Amino acid sequence: MSASWIEAGAAAIAGRAERELEALVGVSSPSGDVRGADEVASIVAALVPDAAVVERVPCSSPDHARDFVARLSGTGSKRLLLVGHLDTVVAHAGHAPLRRDGDQLVGSGAIDMKGGDVLALGVLRALESRRAEFAEAALLLVCDEEWRLGEFVHARRFEGWDACLTFEAGERTPDGGDAVVVKRKAAGTLRIVATGRSAHSGSAPQQGRNALLALAAAAQAVAACHDPEGSDRLTAVPTVVRAGDAFNVVPAHGELTCDVRADRLEAFDTVLAAIPTEIGGAMLTAQNVRRWPGMDSRAVVGPVLERAGAALGRPIVGHARGGASDASHFAAGIGLTVDGLGPLGGGAHAPHEFVWAWSLRPRAEVALAVVDAVLRVP
């Protein structure tokens, strides 16, 4: 049954995927925009299986639209969670609807991650024919993945489920084979605020306390911690700085944002400790405003990928990826967590963001093979 179910399901998913992706990408839904998220959720609700029960549940970020959950009940024992997100990083002014450029499907949020949402929807529909093998399959699409600062509320909601399958962009091996993500770094966002004193930059600069210079020094301190080849594989990168209001005034206030990634959350504490509290009379206050855990599900997922590859007729390899994902939040409470089940593409967060159209069917096959292997776990 496995091979035929995978083949038929992948063909059905691929046959609809481009139209569904066009519909989802056609709606601009940047993080925090309630109307856009609600409109995309309405489209998604029309694409779930008829037997699924749809609900909108509170989002982890209070100012965002409610998250989307579709539940499909069965008569078996396993509980499967499919995960994606509806929000993008592209503001309304920069939004681009889907267009085809050769074999690329180009549009805002196409690969991050509305293309993955389309595959997750297809997998949920395919599961409708195997309801005797699971107790519940749920599709969770959140509205704040791209910029969430608070606690992720759904980790507790689905703790103890048998599998979490997340549909962020897919992976390939160096020789072009199929891969998924089984290891991710922890991620953090450091915010450094400088408070100085303003003064006329021409007639009395010595009376000021320059917040911009303090932040420049803080950025150098953060960058000095960058050690991607070290034991924690720490990356520490200053990314955004804002200071000053006028060209002829010593800036009294400013803010620096830094992106940090490492194998351990604790590694971020060393970066915070390296930031001085005062430079040139300007005071610096630093805090980690976003702490996302890492994940490492290689040991649990390895046998599942072997079974999935056998059913598919080609290997599926587990890879590591540096970017953050909601899969990391679930991995602590769901040992069998697999990420990177979405289509192939590139340009995430950029104007040329795209999905490879040719990848939709083979990546649907990979996702269905993994689902099949999960259902066959003793």
Q: What's the pLDDT tens digit per position in 124-147?
A: 999 999 999 999 999 999 999 998
Domain 2-185+294-375, CATH: 3.40.630.10
d(CA 67, CA 37): 9
pLDDT of 37: 98
Contact status, residue 108 vs residue 53, Cβ threshold 8 Å: no
Q: Is the pLDDT confidence value at 149 over 90?
A: no
| pLDDT tens digits, one per residue of 21-46 | 999 999 999 999 999 999 999 999 99
**What does residue 45 show for φ and ψ, rounded to 5 degrees?**
-60, -30
- 92-101, 281-290, 300-309, 317-326, range with the lowest pLDDT: 317-326
Residue located via tokens 């289509």: 343
Q: Is the pLDDT confidence value at 1 over 80?
A: no
Question: Percentage of the chain with pLDDT > 70?
Answer: 100
Domain 186-292, CATH: 3.30.70.360
For the chain, the distance separating the N- and C-terminal CA atoms, rounded to the nearest angstrom, is 17
d(CA 330, CA 345): 25
pTM metric for this prediction: 0.91
Q: Which residues of 47-71 are buried (b: 16+ CB within 10 A; e: fewer)?
A: bbbeebeeeeeebbbeebbbbbbbb
Cα dihedral 100, 103, 106, 110 in deg (nearest 10): 120
97: left (phi over 0), alpha (psi -120 to 50) or beta: beta
pLDDT of 322: 82
Q: Is the pLDDT confidence value at 378 over 90?
A: no
What is residue 89's DSSP assignment?
S
Give residues with Cβ within 8 angstroms of 17, minimum separation 6.
Answer: 115, 118, 119, 122, 343, 360, 364
Domain boundaries, the chain: 2-185+294-375, 186-292
